[in-house]
A and B are shown apart, each in its own frame.
Chain A
């Protein structure tokens, strides 16, 4: 127990293990970061990552050796990240439209203009960007690419639900009869509450067995630090802006509007058929949060003639942090983008 305490304290005092980056734009709590390139850009088109609202993007860059972002940087991709920050109680009336047509749109514009790049950088500016959406951020990216197709050169979706009512989707089952108007009238939805719901999807493994494995890690400093970083990420779920959260659960989970083509944002219909750019859909075969079928549903919903899928033998998180994913996922994304960078 003392070792655990010491390791947790050391982690708290340790500098962040993320790759170096610089804030290039901010609007209140939302920030756009550009990661410091580690080699000359291989691709002309920059990549903007749009993460989910319900967790922190730390997972994409947990530590060296377990980092999608570092792997992309090392492959010569110019990486930007949209960080949604932590909503406060005054943000409770923010809507999904604010996220997609507000912040995401601003960030696409900034990336397109080459925010944070050196003046001497010869790559063109004011060009469409590559957009990579993760989980819920993938759903938001699909909305964006539908509403603003000319601004997205290539679209990558990772562990992204599209059909929110597949038979194996336990979260969806639980969400169907929740009174969302009532819930969101109470203010922002606490991240701790959402955490409890995620853990209860597999309670025995996630609240019992996992912690016993910790006993075996106590002798291994690196493994213990990795475990603690994961735990910190798990416990760090931001509170959710009430209105946007209610819209997401109602429109996506309860009414399955994205898949059915009945979603509108800011009075504009979100029609996935408007997506004509190349699409790369990456999902985990062992994903218990977003079952493979929920992601695979994207096939045939866009009008892209260049649609590809990558099924990874991993879970929702393993797809980013597992050792196998390090050699499979980022290289596949880089190859796919490189072939479409002309």
Chain B
């Protein structure tokens, strides 16, 4: 049986999850030129927020149809609060400082969030079982779609459409574009850039929370370390697509996901490469792709180079 369509779908789904998280990296970078390395942990707190709603807020036996939207809202609220708090208390005091300072802060914050969840969240020292949607899996032709991925299939394109509408069509979105291109001049137009920065962090966190929820449904469990490797992947996706470009983040995520899926499926078949095709090598191929892009097209797939004549 031809498994290529299945692998492409797997890659697309995985990639759209990367893309959801990558949006946060790319937006924050686009506005304040900061790589928020704690963003992976914001994704993680989003998943834990959703889990908390299910576990401790909703009564036992609530149907998933009711639970899912409430969990999503809970996850988004928690992630947004963490991100906005991080911006206010960790990054804002360092604005104007040399770039190394906020970068180190981000790494410190990332560790603090991981360890905080590990130490204080009930039973979080090991993986927690995430609630699952019943039914399925679904067969379309010879492609199987796991029930847990249905959420991702709906949420990812919807999120992207909402984001595109917001950035292109709303006043705040245009203010955001202006701030990304030239922050001082945006101020001269009347854009409150401090507010735009907070909005960028909050939006990025909201999409990360959608990704965190998707992760829990997809893999059936969450843990305090889940944001580390996924954060790195999402960052890779953002760079791949052209950091600062929101469409690039989604496309970079999808390319990365597809490359991972195809590498697991096919690299082992190449004569002499049988060792390198396993799941554990997928991460390696993902980062090989990153290195190639950085070498051959450092501005990323959608990175723009508009002549900036003075």
Q: Are A and B co-members of a single complex? A: no
A binding-site residues for B, Cβ under 8 Å: none
B binding-site residues for A, Cβ under 8 Å: none
